[in-house]
Structure 1
Amino acid sequence: MTAAPIAEQSAALTRGMAGQVPADALEAFRAEQAGLDAAGVPDAVAGTGSVMPDARLLDVRGGTVTLEQARGGRPAVVVFYRGAWCPYCNVALRTYQRELAADLDERGVALIAVSPQKPDGSLSVLEANELSYTVLSDPGNCIGRALGIVTRPSDPVLGAQASLGLDVARVNADGTHDIVMPTVVLVDAAGVVRWIDVHPNYTTRTEPAQILAALRDTLR
Structure 2
Amino acid sequence: MTTTTHPLAEQLAEYRAGFQQKVPQDAQNTMAAATDALEASGIVNQALTVGDQAPNFELPDATGKAVRLSELLKQGPVVINFYRGEWCPYCNLELRAFQNLLPEFKQAGANLIAISPELPDHSLSVTEKHSLEFSVLSDVGNKISRQYGLVFTLDASLQPLYQSFGIDIPTNNGDDSYELPLPATYVIDQAGRIRYAFAEADYTQRAEPQDVLAVVKELAS
What TM-score, normalized by structure 2, do the two folds share? 0.88
Give 5+ residue unaligned stretches, structure 1. Answer: none
The equivalent of 1:161 in structure 2 is 162
Q: 2:156 is matched by which residue type in structure 1?
A: D
The equivalent of 2:75 in structure 1 is 73
The equivalent of 1:102 in structure 2 is 103
Q: Matched residues in 2 for 1:176 and 1:133: separation?
A: 28
Deviation of 1:64 (Å): 3.1
Deviation of 1:27 (Å): 2.5
Contact 1:24–1:160 (Cα < 8 Å) also in 2: no
User: Cα 1:84–1:192, aligned 2, differ >3 Å: closer, same or farther?
Assistant: same
Contact 2:20–2:28 (Cα < 8 Å) also in 1: yes
The superposition leaves residues 149-182 of structure 1 with CA deviations (integer Å, 9 ceiling, x where unpaired) of: 1112111111211122222122114543111111
The equivalent of 1:47 in structure 2 is 49
What TM-score, normalized by structure 1, do the two folds share? 0.88
User: Cα 1:160–1:191, aligned 2, differ >3 Å: closer, same or farther?
Assistant: same
Contact 1:115–1:137 (Cα < 8 Å) also in 2: yes
The equivalent of 1:200 in structure 2 is 201
Determine what percentage of the aligned residue pairs are the same residue: 36
Give 5+ residue unaligned stretches, structure 2. Answer: none
Contact 1:7–1:204 (Cα < 8 Å) also in 2: yes
Match of 1:57 among 29, 39, 59: 59
Instruction: State the superposition RMSD in angstroms.
Output: 2.2
The superposition leaves residues 89-120 of structure 1 with CA deviations (integer Å, 9 ceiling, x where unpaired) of: 0011111111x201011111001111111111
The equivalent of 1:148 in structure 2 is 149
Q: Matched residues in 2 for 1:69 and 1:121: separation?
A: 25
Q: Matched residues in 2 for 1:39 and 1:219: separation?
A: 37
User: Cα 1:72–1:132, aligned 2, differ >3 Å: closer, same or farther?
Assistant: farther
The equivalent of 1:91 in structure 2 is 93
Q: Matched residues in 1 for 2:63 and 2:174: separation?
A: 13
Deviation of 1:38 (Å): 4.4
Deviation of 1:219 (Å): 5.2
Q: 1:17 is matched by which residue type in structure 2?
A: F
Q: 2:193 is matched by which residue type in structure 1?
A: V
Q: Matched residues in 1 for 2:108 and 2:217: separation?
A: 11
Q: Matched residues in 2 for 1:152 and 1:214: separation?
A: 31
The superposition leaves residues 30-72 of structure 1 with CA deviations (integer Å, 9 ceiling, x where unpaired) of: 2223334445553222232322113331210233333334555
Q: Secondary structure at the match of 1:43?
A: helix
User: Cα 1:70–1:135, aligned 2, differ >3 Å: closer, same or farther?
Assistant: farther
Q: Which runs of 4+ in 1 moved over 6 A?
A: none
Q: Secondary structure at the match of 2:98?
A: helix
Q: Matched residues in 1 for 2:91 and 2:131: separation?
A: 14
User: Cα 1:68–1:113, aligned 2, differ >3 Å: closer, same or farther?
Assistant: same
Deviation of 1:139 (Å): 1.4
Contact 1:78–1:114 (Cα < 8 Å) also in 2: yes
Q: Secondary structure at the match of 2:158?
A: helix
User: Cα 1:108–1:12, aligned 2, differ >3 Å: closer, same or farther?
Assistant: same
Q: Secondary structure at the match of 1:65?
A: strand
